[in-house]
Amino acid sequence: MAITISIIIGALLTLFYVSMVLFFRRGWMNIPEYKILPRECNTTVSIIIAARNEEKNIASTINDILSQSYPKHLFELIIVDDHSTDNTANIVENYASEGVKLISLRESNALNSYKKKAIAEAITNAKGDLIVTTDADCNMGTKWLETIVSFYEANDLKFVSSPVSYFKEQSRFEELQTLEFLFLIGLGAAGIGNKMPSTCNGANLAYRKDVFMEVGGFKGIDDLASGDDELLLHKVAEKYPNKIGFCKSTDAVVYTLAKENLKEFISQRRRWASKSVKYKDKKIVVMAISIWLFNLSFLFNFVASFFSIVFLKFFLAQYIVKVLAELSLLSKITSFNKRNSLLKYLPVLSFLHVVYIVYIGIAGNSGKYNWKGRMVR
């Protein structure tokens, strides 16, 4: 009787998960690839980067931004040095003659989210009507800014999420991360495509400055280390549900590096998961909890398969259905990113992802963790 009930619950959760994956697939397909229009953009833009101890990467990022095809007189670059203990600030100062502005964050009181404070400080000093955020370890093509602004103007949007991808992988572990990260970015895009915005990535966001002020900026979400991206998305979507867009263009992609080791990867994902406690949209909360329960069921059935042939058969069926459903979505996302070769890792990732989701679902919402030399929650 107990086995039957467990399998019925597992089957229902599997059905829900597959339905969600297909729902996200529809959302991804709802978004057409954007081709830049032959028009003259006139939006003033403030590109903001919050940087802490990024001396190895910051110059490359600055050079990419200064090389943008977007008219130079229409954008500014503001970098906020977040108490760096390395040469980050000095490197940024070397670009002062090219118009790069440096703000040094000097907070005497301990904060839980220095990044939100840094971005808010930069926005206060920003001259642009459109705020664009990226990270200090990112690279982008020359048409990045022009494509995003063109998309923003063409669709009269308040908030634009754009693609982020890992690149220059040095190991299979980093390639696995790339596939998993593409999945996350794809889910964020799909949510927007389904008119149910849920996630995005702060390495490639754009939003109106006046809208940021209108929704109170980071007020109410400033007690978490993470959330400068998707929690802000939720605030804007609540007020302007039909003014959120995803710029599905390869010219709009921002590239960054995967984590070198498991410890750094887990720390990053714990930080990302911590913001889920602030979700207010009940649909998103129910969906997230249900997906977590599915993964817990999957893990339970895997363990139980060592003791029962019934569970073994059910687990194998559950695994195959899960992989096929994810393949139907990921094949579209990797095709857009021209990374189809990564699909060879899907059978492995589909299993490992379950363990990771179950663990992060608990660890990300409990306790503190270290991020860039600070203990945060």
C-alpha–C-alpha distance, residues 122 and 101, integer Å: 10
pLDDT at residue 246 in the model: 98
- pLDDT of 369 > 60? The answer is no
pLDDT at residue 2 in the model: 66
Average pLDDT of the residues in 221-243? 87
Better pLDDT: 282 or 80:
80
**pTM tops 0.85:** yes
pLDDT at residue 33 in the model: 97
Give 237: exposed, middle or buried? Use CB within 10 Å, 0-12, 13-18, 19+.
buried
Better pLDDT: 205 or 10:
205
Q: C-alpha distances in angstroms, 11 versus 3, 27, 138, 293, 315?
A: 12, 24, 42, 12, 10
Helix, strand or coil, per DSSP, at residue 41: coil
Give me the percent of the chain exceeding a pLDDT of 70. 93
**108 Cβ contact partners less than 8 Å away, ≥ 6 residues apart:** none
- Longest CA–CA span in the chain (Å) reads 75
C-alpha–C-alpha distance, residues 269 and 96, integer Å: 35
Which H or E run contains 139? Answer: strand 139-140
Lowest-confidence range among 36-40, 318-322, 330-334?
36-40
Give me the percent of the chain exceeding a pLDDT of 90. 75
Q: What is the pLDDT of residues 325-346, one digit of tens each?
A: 999 999 999 999 999 999 999 9
Query: Please, which pLDDT band fits residue 241 given cuts at 50, 70 and 90?
Result: very high
**311 Cβ contact partners less than 8 Å away, ≥ 6 residues apart:** 3, 6, 7, 301, 304, 305
C-alpha–C-alpha distance, residues 144 and 68, integer Å: 7
pLDDT at residue 345 in the model: 97
Nearest alpha carbon to residue 178 among 187, 190, 165, 193? 165
**195 Cβ contact partners less than 8 Å away, ≥ 6 residues apart:** 241, 242
Average pLDDT of the residues in 139-164? 97
- pLDDT of 229 > 80? The answer is yes
C-alpha–C-alpha distance, residues 133 and 135, integer Å: 7
Q: pLDDT averaged over the chain? A: 91
- pLDDT of 372 > 80? The answer is no
pLDDT at residue 282 in the model: 80
- pLDDT of 170 > 80? The answer is yes
Average pLDDT of the residues in 349-354? 93
Average pLDDT of the residues in 9-25? 95
Give 221: exposed, middle or buried? Use CB within 10 Å, 0-12, 13-18, 19+.
buried
C-alpha–C-alpha distance, residues 109 and 222, integer Å: 14
Query: Please, which pLDDT band fits residue 253 given cuts at 50, 70 and 90?
Result: very high
> Long-range contacts for 6-11 (Cβ within 8 Å, ≥24 apart)?
6/300, 6/301, 6/304, 6/311, 7/310, 7/311, 7/314, 9/297, 10/297, 10/298, 10/300, 10/301, 10/314, 10/318, 11/314
Query: Please, which pLDDT band fits residue 359 given cuts at 50, 70 and 90?
Result: confident
3-state helix, strand, coil split of the chain in percent (to 5) is 55, 15, 30
Lowest-confidence range among 172-176, 203-207, 334-338, 370-374?
370-374
- pLDDT of 38 > 90? The answer is no
Which H or E run contains 376? Answer: strand 374-376
Per residue, the 3-state secondary structure of 297-321, as one string, reads: HHHHHHHHCCCCHHHHHHHHHHHHH
Residue pair 58/51 in contact (Cβ under 8 Å)? The answer is yes
Q: What is the pLDDT of residues 88-144, one digit of tens each?
A: 999 999 999 999 999 998 876 666 678 898 999 999 999 999 999 999 999 999 999
C-alpha–C-alpha distance, residues 236 and 243, integer Å: 9
The encoded tokens of residue 233 equal 């998305």
> CA 255, 261, 262, 266 torsion: positive or negative?
negative
**DSSP per residue over 141-201, as a string?**
-TTHHHHHHHHHHHHT-SEEE--EEE-S--SHHHHHHHHHHHHHHHHHHHHHHTT------
Query: Please, which pLDDT band fits residue 195 given cuts at 50, 70 and 90?
Result: very high
